[in-house]
Amino acid sequence: MEPRFATRFKGMKSSIIREILKLTAQPGVISFAGGLPAPELFPLTQLKQAHMTLFDKGDSAFLQYSTTEGDPSLRSWIAQKMNRQGSKVTDSNILILSGSQQGLDLMGKIMLDPGDYVVVENPSYLGAIQCFGAYEAQFLAVESDAQGMDLDHLEELLKQYHPKLIYVIPTFMNPTGITMIRERRQRLAEIAARYQVLVIEDNPYGDLRYSGEDIPPLKAFDEAGWVVYLGSFSKTAVPGMRLGWVAADPQVIAALAQAKQGADLHTATFAQAALSEYLHQHNPEAHVERIKKAYKERRDLMLACMEKHFPKELKWNRPDGGMFIWVTCPEKVDTVELLKKAVEQKVAYVPGISFFPFEDHNNCLRLNFSNASNTQIEEGICRLGQVFHAACK
Ligand SMILES: Cc1ncc(COP(=O)(O)O)c(C=O)c1O
């Protein structure tokens, strides 16, 4: 069979990383590869109760088609939460999404013509690179340091290329774990307004802080409406319900809602109603505190094990939150090749190469610390240490 796929999909390479990672499904493999929350911490009882309450209420609207914008009670909960964190939004700024990933796709759909420029961090979230790539965007890689995006470099890019979008993960970035400092957030919001370019602030990890001081989201510095904020319930509640949201200027929300109609009409009413019931009746903040405590312990344990087992040639950061540690190996180490050796030792990570828009760095890797147990972290990092020692010889 030879389906006549669209030209933009013909360029999509079959990923050897995906092929190797398939092997991690084998029994006994400890995987630090996925970006998964800890399933044993899911709020099972509360979610079960929330679903049962819906059925017991006797109003079957939660099983009916509904508006594209989403469940009013859920939108209002989100607007209040965002306002507490410093943003100025009302319910009319919120559109419920089928996962925040859908927001990336819809932004691509409403904003990008083939060849349009999109600024991304270098590295950036793989799912965003794939998504904008499918709309035939051209990437501009902006440099970053430990305090976030280099805004002088960003301004140079804006002047030279007039990109349509800037995509940034300012808080506990995936994959690097870096958080943009407050001053840069302020300046980035000003830059967006001055150059009249939309900035997508992708913030699925913002509530998962384990150390350091809270910083308001970029959206909180957005006076003129150029920040399009993507939020998610995947990391603070459960990913399986596929619920997220976008908060943006009403003009952007209207275009996104129109695009969403073509994608899925609306996000599942059942899931929205159940989550809303959970959020309003079951103390979701206490749940977030519980997972933060567990993830902090896992982060600290993984860092301590890395200190003990990894060769001194490797460098890594100490993230204040989120789910990832980013490791840089000496130039000569190819982390895609090394993954094969790691999987032989029954341990896995994600090679860094796919997070770079131009796939031009092959000596980095990402480790996830939220999904593995303490025993798995101790054993897995010890195994990885042996693999890295051999590679650095
Ligand atoms: C930076 C980033 N954006 C978006 C997503 C997608 O999240 P969701 O489950 O809300 O679609 C993820 C998932 O890991 C992510 O890391």
The residues lining ligand 1, judged by C-beta closer than 6 Å to any ligand atom, are 35, 99-101, 125, 127, 169, 174, 202, 204, 232, 234, 239, 244
Query: Does residue 258 have a pLDDT over 90?
Result: yes
Cβ distance 79 to 274 under 8 Å? no
Alpha helices by DSSP H, listed for 100-242, are 100-111, 126-134, 151-161, 182-195
Whether residue 174 has pLDDT greater than 90:
yes
**Distance from Cα 100 to the centre of ligand 1, integer Å:** 6
Return the minimum-mean-pLDDT range out of 16-25, 36-45, 113-122: 16-25
Instruction: Assess whether pLDDT exceeds 90 at residue 22.
Output: no
Domains, the chain, ranges and CATH?
7-43+286-392 (3.90.1150.10), 61-281 (3.40.640.10)
**What spacing in Å lies between the alpha carbon of 36 and ligand 1's midpoint?**
10
11 pLDDT tier (thresholds 50, 70, 90): low
Tokens 């993954």, residue located: 339
Q: What does each C-alpha distance from 182 to 70, 216, 287 come to in angstroms?
A: 32, 8, 27
Is the confidence at residue 12, as pLDDT, over 70?
A: no
| Per-chain mean pLDDT for the chain | 95
Q: Which atom of ligand 1 is nearest to the CA of 173?
A: 1
Each residue of 60-112: pLDDT tens digit?
999 999 999 999 999 999 999 999 999 999 999 999 999 999 999 999 999 99
Q: Which residue's C-alpha comes closest to atom 16 of ligand 1? A: 174
Q: List the beta bridge partners of residue 228.
A: 200
Mean pLDDT, range 46-56, rounded to an integer: 97
Ligand 1: atom nearest CA of 232 is 10
Cα 127 to ligand 1 centre (Å): 8
Ligand 1 nearest-atom number relative to CA 233: 10
Q: Calculate how far, in angstroms, residue 42's C-alpha sits from the geometric centre of ligand 1.
A: 17
Protein residue closest via CA to atom 14 of ligand 1: 35
Ligand 1 centre and the CA of 173: distance in Å? 11
Pocket test for ligand 1, best of 129, 174, 243, 264 (most atoms within 8 A of CB): 174
pLDDT of 311 strictly over 80: yes
The confidence band for 380, taking pLDDT boundaries of 50, 70 and 90, is: very high
CA of 386 to the centre of ligand 1 (A): 31
Do 353 and 359 meet the contact criterion of CB atoms below 8 Å apart? yes
Helix, strand, coil % (nearest 5) of the chain?
A: 50, 15, 40
- The answer to whether residue 308 scores a pLDDT higher than 70 is yes
Grade residue 5 by pLDDT with cuts at 50, 70 and 90.
confident
**Left if phi > 0, otherwise alpha if psi is -120 to 50, otherwise beta: which for 70?**
left
CA 169 to ligand 1: nearest atom: 1
**CB-based contact 201:166 (threshold 8 Å):** no
Contact assessment for residue 192 and residue 198, using Cβ atoms and an 8 Å cutoff? yes
**Residue 84 in contact with residue 285, Cβ under 8 Å?**
no
CA–CA dist 132, 128 (Å, integer): 6
Candidate of 36, 42, 100 to mutate for ligand 1, largest count of ligand atoms within 8 Å of Cβ: 100
Stretch 160-166: mean pLDDT: 98
Ligand 1 centroid–CA 370 distance in Å is: 15
Who's near 323: CB < 8 A, 6+ residues apart?
A: 35, 37, 172, 174, 205, 208, 235, 295, 368, 369, 370, 371
Tell me how far the alpha carbon of residue 128 lies from the centroid of ligand 1, in angstroms. Answer: 9
Q: What is the pLDDT averaged over residues 207-229?
A: 97
What is residue 23's predicted lDDT score, i.e. its pLDDT?
Answer: 76
Strand partners, 125: none
Q: Which atom of ligand 1 lies at the shortest distance from residue 101's CA? A: 11
From the CA of 251, how far away is ligand 1's center (Å)? 24
Rg for the chain, CA atoms, rounded: 21
Tell me, what's the pLDDT at 231?
98
